[in-house]
Amino acid sequence: MVNTGVMLCGVRLDNPIIAASGCFGYGEEFSRLYDLDVLGSFSFKGTTVAPRDGNPAPRIADAPDGMINSVGLQNPGSQAVRDELLPKMAGYFHKPVMANICGSSVGDYAALAEIFGVQEQVGWLEVNISCPNVKCGGMSFGADPAAAAAVTKACREKTDKPIIMKLTPNAGSVTDVAKACEAAGADALSLINTVQAMRIDLRRRAPVLANVKGGLSGPAVLPIALRCVWDVYESVKIPLVGMGGVSTPADVIEMMLAGATAVEVGAANLVDPFACPKIIDGLPAKMEELGINSLSDIVGAAHG
Ligand code: SIN
């Protein structure tokens, strides 16, 4: 029998599949469809200190083999997540969850790391320095190595839980940002967040999205994500969580061969709410077909 288990920063995952932040809410809706304990884990919606309504509509645009979102970190805020949603989650998810946190200032990130860094249910903090849809913070931290390092250091000082810095492909050099995060104390890196993109409505002769630009995700970005994971794997020693357009067991294996220890699945959940369990079910057969006994053996194997 093949072994799908992997270790991520000292925490065991039964399989490498993590439902990605932003496409899975806090898991409740999906928990009505299937047993979430089949997942390796999930990363909850990017949570900020205070509640946010997000950006004005329209905030979703269609794209070839993907979608563009400009949601703008709509979330109920850290207090509601800690006091209401995490206790509720304990009823439907019995594994460590990944806490995705996002701020407008270094202080925000530190405050969130302090709040979620002591929650028993939280296995890892995924520090989102890559959201392209907010005016302050988000991607502006992830586009600059010094700013990314400052956020990493501030979070590191507040918690002993594993810190995973979530990187943007929109940085001038994703490898420079990755190296800066590693040097500042990150335990792992996740990549990629969405690729900045836009559409134009031909009849209105105006941008489709009220926010003009958004982030592209879905199968269209898989090759970009693979290239980023490949480059970062060659630049740092810490583990990587790969994501971007993954929707099949073959995509998972490709991402792991490029250097990912675990794999997040995002937009696919919006196309088919059963995408994650289907990928998990299909992994063993794909492994057998490719002669893979243990997934942890193939991490970065394409680098030779
Ligand atoms: C959003 O809420 O705008 C998407 C989250 C992200 O891109 O990090």
Rounded CA separation 86/237 (Å): 32
**H/E segment holding residue 207:** strand 206-207
Whole-prediction pTM: 0.98
Rounded CA separation 267/23 (Å): 6
- Amino acid at residue number 272: D
- Which sign, positive or negative, has the C-alpha torsion 22, 28, 32, 38? positive
User: Which has the minimum average pLDDT: 12-16, 101-105, 137-141, 267-271?
Assistant: 137-141
pLDDT at residue 232 greater than cutoff 90? yes
Residues at CB less than 6 angstroms from ligand 1? 22, 46, 69, 71-73, 128, 130-133, 193-194, 215
Per the document, the length of the chain is 304
User: Can you tell me the mean pLDDT for 94-117?
Assistant: 98
User: Can you tell me the mean pLDDT for 45-52?
Assistant: 98
**Closest residue to atom 2 of ligand 1, CA basis:** 73
Banded model confidence at residue 214, pLDDT cuts 50, 70, 90? very high
Ligand 1, closest atom to CA 75? 2
Is the distance from CB of 162 to CB of 9 less than 8 angstroms?
A: yes
Rounded CA separation 133/256 (Å): 28
User: Can you tell me the mean pLDDT for 174-182?
Assistant: 98
Rounded CA separation 89/93 (Å): 6
Task: Using the mean position of ligand 1's atoms as its centre, give its distance from the Cα of residue 145 in Å.
Answer: 20
Catalytic residues: 131
- Amino acid at residue number 111: A
Task: Specify burial of residue 284 (Cβ count, 10 A radius: 0-12, 13-18, 19+).
Answer: middle
- The rounded percent of the chain whose pLDDT value lies above 90 is 97
CA atoms within 13 A on the CB side of 130: 30
Is the distance from CB of 209 to CB of 59 less than 8 angstroms?
A: yes
Ligand 1 pocket test: which of 193, 195, 196, 209 has the largest number of ligand atoms within 8 Å of its C-beta?
193
**N- to C-terminal Cα distance for the chain?**
26
pLDDT at residue 31 greater than cutoff 90? yes
Which residues, 6+ apart, have CB-to-CB distance to 100 below 8 Å?
Answer: 21, 22, 43, 44, 45, 46, 47, 126, 128, 166
Residue 52, phi-psi category: left (phi > 0), alpha (psi -120 to 50), beta (remainder)? beta
Give the tens place of pLDDT for each residue, 124-163. Answer: 999 999 999 998 878 889 999 999 999 999 999 999 999 9
Q: For the chain, list the domains and their CATH numbers.
A: 6-49+72-198+216-303 (3.20.20.70)
Give the tens place of pLDDT for each residue, 187-206. Answer: 999 999 999 999 999 999 99
Average pLDDT, the chain: 97
Choose between 70 and 135: higher pLDDT. 70
Q: What is residue 304's predicted lDDT score, i.e. its pLDDT?
A: 84
The two structure tokens encoding residue 278 = 């289907």
**Closest residue to atom 7 of ligand 1, CA basis:** 131
Rounded CA separation 244/297 (Å): 22
Q: What is residue 291's predicted lDDT score, i.e. its pLDDT?
A: 98
What SS3 string covers 88-118? HHCCCCCCCEEEEECCCCHHHHHHHHHHHCC
Task: Using the mean position of ligand 1's atoms as its centre, give its distance from the Cα of residue 104 in Å.
Answer: 13
Q: With CA atoms as reference, report the closest residue to 90 among 112, 49, 119, 59.
A: 119
Q: What is residue 137's predicted lDDT score, i.e. its pLDDT?
A: 78
Ligand 1, closest atom to CA 74? 2
- The rounded percent of the chain whose pLDDT value lies above 70 is 100
Q: What is residue 220's predicted lDDT score, i.e. its pLDDT?
A: 98
